[in-house]
C-alpha cells in the first residue's frame, strides 16, 4: 500500500491531516502561523526574514523568501504525508535561529544568548516548541513509518 501512496499526486485541498499524531498536528498549525507572520515580516522588513532581505541584499532576499516557502510548504507537504515536507519543516523550524546568527554574528554588543533568542523570549519559546514538536519521538516515528 505504501508503494501506491508514494506515487499519488498532492491533494491541493488537504492542508491538515487530523489522523496524524497530536505533535505533528500542532507543528503543522505552528508552521502555517509562522509562515504567515514570516511573509508579513518579509514584506515590511520587520521579521528576521525581512531584516535579511534588507541587510544581506539579494542573497538575503532569496533566503528570506525560502524561509517563508519552507514554513508553508513544509506544513502542506506534511499534511500530504511526504518525507520531504518533514525535512522542509525541520529546515523552517530551525531557520529563525540560523537567520539571527547569520545577521547578528558581526554586530557588536550582543551576547550569544541575544543572538540565539533575538531578545524576544516569547517568540523564542514558540520557535523552540516547534522544533521540539517536530523532533519528538512520536513525530519522528510517524513520519518514518507513514510518510512516502
**All structural domains of the chain with their residue ranges:** 22-146
Q: How far apart are CA 37 and CA 40, in angstroms?
A: 5
Other Cβ atoms closer than 10 A to 49: 27
The residue written with cell numbers 534588507 in the block is 54
Please enumerate in sequence order all residues whose Cβ is within 8 A of that of 105, keeping only pairs 6 or more positions apart, or say none.
115
End-to-end CA distance of the chain: 11
Residue 131 is predicted with a pLDDT of 97
Q: Are 67 and 103 in contact (CB under 8 A)?
A: no
Given a cut of 80, whether residue 2 has pLDDT beyond it is no
CA 140 vs. chain centroid, Å, equals 16
Condensed to tens digits (0 to 9), the pLDDT of residues 19-48 reads: 899 999 999 999 999 999 999 999 998 888
The mean pLDDT of 100-129, rounded to a whole number, is 88
Q: What is the mean pLDDT of the chain?
A: 90
Measured between alpha carbons, how far is residue 29 from residues 1, 13, 88 in Å? Answer: 28, 16, 15
Dihedral of the alpha carbons of 46, 51, 58, 95, in degrees to the nearest 10: -100
The answer to whether the pTM exceeds 0.95 is no
User: What percent of the chain clears pLDDT 90, i.e. is strictly above it?
Assistant: 62
The mean pLDDT of 98-109, rounded to a whole number, is 86
The mean pLDDT of 127-141, rounded to a whole number, is 96
Q: Which of 30-39, 48-57, 131-140 has the lowest mean pLDDT?
A: 48-57
The residue written with cell numbers 530551525 in the block is 94
Amino acid at each position: 500500500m505504501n508503494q501506491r501512496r508514494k506515487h499519488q499526486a498532492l491533494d491541493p485541498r488537504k492542508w491538515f491531516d487530523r489522523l496524524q499524531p497530536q505533535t505533528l498536528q500542532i507543528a503543522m498549525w505552528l508552521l502555517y502561523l509562522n509562515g504567515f507572520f514570516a511573509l508579513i515580516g518579509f514584506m515590511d522588513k520587520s521579521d528576521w526574514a525581512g531584516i535579511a532581505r534588507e541587510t544581506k541584499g539579494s542573497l538575503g532576499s532569496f533566503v528570506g523568501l525560502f524561509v517563508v516557502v519552507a514554513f508553508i510548504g513544509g506544513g502542506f507537504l506534511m499534511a500530504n504525508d511526504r518525507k520531504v515536507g518533514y525535512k522542509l519543516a525541520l529546515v523552517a523550524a530551525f531557520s529563525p535561529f540560523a537567520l539571527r546568527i547569520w545577521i547578528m554574528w558581526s554586530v557588536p554588543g550582543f551576547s550569544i544568548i541575544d543572538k540565539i533568542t533575538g531578545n524576544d523570549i516569547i517568540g523564542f519559546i514558540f520557535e523552540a516548541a516547534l522544533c521540539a514538536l517536530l523532533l519528538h519521538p512520536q513525530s519522528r516515528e510517524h513520519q518514518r513509518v507513514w510518510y512516502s
